[in-house]
Chain A
Amino acid sequence: MKRSFRAMFYTPYFLWLALFVIAPVGLIFYYSFFNIRHQFTFDNYATFFSSGTYLTMTANSVLYAFLITLISLVISYPMALVISRLRHRDLWILLVILPTWINLLLKAYAFIGLLSHDGLVNQLFGLVGIPAQHMLFTDASFILVASYIQIPFMILPIYNSLTDISDSYIKASHDLGATNWQTLTKVIFPMTMPGVKSGIQIVFIPSLSLFMLSRLIGGNKIITLGTAVEEHFLTTMNWGMGSTIGVVLIIAMVIAMMLTNTQRKRRRQA
């Protein structure tokens, strides 16, 4: 009786895993071994790791994802800290989450309106006498917009881990003679590490393949692996090569997960 009851709970979960996680990943691996004529081959991997184009693209993707993650983190942590101290913090955090209710494409188009040559930002610059700047299609604008989109996903886990800290820890820290700065760096920050790490994972991984933004805001001057995947699936119909890049992205994500997880274990042992 008890066993069948448990199975009832497990079955949907395992079915979900098998159908929507294991099967798609398996299919990507499977397709990555076929060339454009549907013959079995390892050529896709050989091409990827011997081509300067793909390797530079990988380096670009990792670099931009790193920058986006770093900037979101630098902005998010103080913001989460401040919000967690405010009186109506639930309301403030709601305001932070609000932009995620709007579709990504709409946000991108809104930024086009802001950053374009005759856009709002340049009009404001004009009022203070700064000449119009070229802002669209630059690295800076791409990183700005990508960070803007990712910030709510970084703030939320940090905010949650901040509100989990009991006030007694902070009082104890002060009682033992720690300054505010020491309390922050020696007590609060280490205790929010799990939140920071999940924030990094949530932001870094999707940032590896932001192909819509790299076209709309970056004007395809920034080419990440996502751009190549899109091209292989939609234009050249070379699903094999597209899947190979998919496998590389999956591996990059696994590495990112491992880097953020092992550190936590080590800290616990210490």
Chain B
Amino acid sequence: MKKFLIAFLVLMGICLGLSVGAQQLTKSTGDTGSKVLNLYNWGDYIAPTLLTKFQKETGYHVNVETFDSNEAMYTKIKQGGTSYDLTVPSDYMVQKMKADHMLIPLDKSRLTGMRNYGHSFMNKSFDPGNRYSIPYFWGTLGIIYNDQSIKLGQLAHWDQLWDSKYRDDIMLIDSARDIMGFTLISQHHSVNTTNTPELLAARDKLNKLSPNVKAIVADEIKMYMAEGEAPIAVDWSGEASEMMSQNSHLHYVVPTEGSNMWFDNLVIPKTAKHFKAIYAFLNFMNQPKNAAQNAEYIGYATPNTAAFKLLPKSVRDDKQFYPSQKVLDKLEVYSNLSPEKVQQYNDLYLEFKMHH
């Protein structure tokens, strides 16, 4: 018993010492003076070389802290005690933060290079006129397939997923809006519909998909697809690019009949303090050269059209991640639904999951 107690105390002491040490280390790198910018970003979502370049050009030091979900970011900023100058919510979360008065409008007179952004990526329903947000990266929802079991180009439409030859072959990302969304599109309805008969029809159609569904999983879907556990998956383009970097047999396609389009956006939360640094950073990121460098590092699609032109030809011509204008026009962004409708989407989705 005594030995156990000693071992326990020693372990606690080591942990405490290490954590204090770690805090000291971060403190010494974190500049608390006025020449700083506190960026609250997704993990590994900015090219590190850009941060050093920004500091060299402007003298502002960027402190980066990371989050792994919109909800986690929202809760942390809402709880207070933070001093983030910029953060990167997705489309629906911009709308939610705006509704909860957590954002500061952009001062357009201090921004340069806004004309670099393509008109397809601006003035979206989640932030009309881009009063609060600048798009950072964008992407789509689509189908990933493995060319070892499915011939290249053979799978290009949502309706094909219902084909009986794909029995037990499909993995779905566990997300009510996305799964209901592509079913609604296959029935020529909007992904934002609030019409109950349309939603019920989507549920009925989804139930017919269940023999083809192998599993409905979350982040693990990347690992499963890379390892070839299933030949088909429905997932977001960002996840698809990660899978494809691990397995060259995988391909991504955005069905031409339409899909969801998502955006991650730079916004200024109410906790911001260093406004000179914020606008310096936003203008720095608006520059085509820098946005292109960032896009090459992250591998997601950039909404900065001027930057797009600077990307290598192989990337520009990649219809998987930069679909043609014709497809772009068909893509829909999710709008923030009322709690009752969110509930209905989720209830119907749950009924589909229960269906065998």
Taken together as a complex, chains A and B put the C-alpha atoms of A220 and B218 apart, in Å, by 10
Establish whether residues B220 and A216, one from each chain, have CB atoms under 8 Å apart when the complex forms: yes
Provide the bound-state CA to CA distance between A227 and B217, in Å: 12
| Interface flag for B227 (CB, 8 Å) | yes
Quick check: A220 and B229 within 8 Å, CB to CB?
Answer: no
The proximity string for A residues 201-226 relative to B, scoring 1 for CB distances below 8 Å and 0 otherwise, is: 00000000000000110011101000
Report how far A221 CA is from B354 CA in the complex, Å.
7
Contact A237 B339 (CB under 8 A): yes
Interface extent on B, as a size class?
20 to 34
List the B side residues contacting A112 at CB < 8 Å: 220, 223
Residue ID in chain B nearest A134 by CB atoms: B168
Residue B216 at the A interface, CB < 8 A? yes
Residues of A within 8 A of B224 (CB): 116
Which residues of chain B are near A137, meaning CB under 8 Å?
Answer: 214-215
Among B176, B213, B342, B350, the residue within 8 A (CB) of A228 is B350
Determine whether the beta carbon of B215 is less than 8 Å from that of A236: no
Contacts of A236 in B (CB 8 A): 339, 342-343, 346
- Expressed in whole angstroms, the Cα–Cα distance for A49 and B350 within the complex equals 16
Contacts of B217 in A (CB 8 A): 215-216, 219-220
Q: Mark A238-261, 1 if CB is under 8 A from B, else 0.
A: 100100000000000000000000
Tell me if A21 is interfacial: C-beta within 8 Å of chain B.
no
Known contacts A53-B351, A215-B174, A220-B215: A118-B343 contact under CB 8 Å: no
Give a binary string over B206-223; 1 marks a CB under 8 Å from any A CB, 0 the rest.
Answer: 000000011111101001
**B342 x A215 contact (CB < 8 A):** no
- B215: chain A residues within 8 A (beta carbon): 136-137, 219-221
User: Which residue from B229, B347, B354 sits with its C-beta under 8 Å from A223?
Assistant: B354
Q: In the assembled complex, how far is the CB of residue A11 from the closest CB belonging to chain B, in whole angstroms?
A: 24
CB distance from A174 to the nearest CB of B (A): 39
Residues of A near B174 (CB, < 8 A) are 215, 220
Which of A117, A216, A231, A234 contacts B350 (CB under 8 A)? A231
Question: A61–B227 Cα gap in the complex (Å)?
Answer: 31
Partner of A57, one of B228, B229, B354: B354
Beyond A134-B168, A136-B229, A215-B174, is A221–B356 a contact (Cβ under 8 Å)?
A: yes
The CA of A241 and the CA of B339, in the complex, are separated in Å by 13
Q: Known: A56-B354, A118-B228, A228-B350. Is A238-B214 also a contact (CB below 8 A)?
A: no
Contacting pair A37 B339 (CB below 8 A):
yes
CB contact between B346 and one of A57, A223, A231 (< 8 Å): that residue: A231
A23 at the interface (CB under 8 A from B): no
Asked if residues B354 and A53 are in contact (CB atoms below 8 Å), the reply is: yes
Interface 0/1 of B308-347, CB less than 8 Å to A: 0000000000000000000000000000000110110011
Q: Which residue of A lies closest to B351 (CB)?
A: A53
How far apart sit A56 and B340, CA to CA, in the bound complex (Å)?
23
For B214, give its contact among A56, A57, A219 (CB under 8 Å). A219
Once the chains are docked, how many angstroms separate the CA of A116 from the CA of B343? 34
B78 within 8 A of A: no
A-B contact count (CB 8 A): 68
Chain A: interface size category: 20 to 34
- Given A118-B228, A215-B217, A235:B350 Cβ within 8 A: no
Give CA–CA (A219, B199) in the complex, Å.
24
The residue that A215 contacts in the complex, of B71, B213, B218, B228, with Cβ under 8 A, is B218
In the bound complex, do residue B216 and residue A221 qualify as a contact, i.e. CB atoms below 8 Å apart? yes
Which residues of the partner chain A approach B98 to less than 8 Å between Cβ atoms? none
* Complex alpha-carbon distance, A221 and B353, angstroms: 7
CB distance from B213 to the nearest CB of A (A): 8
Contacts of B351 in A (CB 8 A): 53
Cross-chain contact A117 with B353 (CB below 8 angstroms)? no
A27 to B227, CA, bound (A): 44
**Contact with A117, one of B223, B227, B356 (Cβ below 8 angstroms):** B227
| Cα of A234 to Cα of B175 in the assembled complex, Å | 12
Smallest CB separation, B39 vs chain A (Å): 26
Complex-state Cα separation, A234 to B342, whole angstroms? 12
Of listed B218, B228, B350, residue having the most chain A CB within 10 A: B350
Whether the Cβ atoms of A219 and B340 lie closer than 8 Å is: no
Report yes or no: B343 in contact with A53, Cβ–Cβ below 8 A. no
- Residues from chain B with a CB closer than 8 A to the CB of A215 are 174, 216-218
In the complex, how many angstroms separate the beta carbon of A221 from the nearest chain B beta carbon? Answer: 7
CB-based contact B218/A53 at 8 Å: no
Q: How far is the CA of A244 from the CA of B146 in the complex (A)?
A: 43
A237: which B residues are within 8 A, CB to CB?
339, 342
A140 to chain B, nearest CB (A): 15
- Chain B, Cβ-Cβ closest to A113: B227
User: Are B216 and A220 in contact (CB-based, < 8 A)?
Assistant: yes
Please name the residue on chain B nearest to A237 by beta carbon. B339
The reply on A36 being an interface residue by CB < 8 A is yes
Q: How far is the CA of A116 from the CA of B224 in the complex (A)?
A: 9
15 example contacts (A-B, Cβ-Cβ < 8 A) are as follows A36-B343, A57-B354, A118-B228, A134-B168, A136-B215, A137-B214, A137-B215, A215-B174, A216-B220, A220-B174, A221-B213, A227-B350, A234-B71, A235-B176, A238-B339
Given contacts A112-B220, A117-B229, 6 further A-B contacts (CB under 8 A): A53-B350, A118-B227, A215-B217, A220-B217, A221-B215, A223-B353
9 A-B pairs closest in CB distance: A219-B215, A220-B216, A137-B215, A36-B339, A236-B346, A236-B343, A117-B229, A223-B354, A53-B351
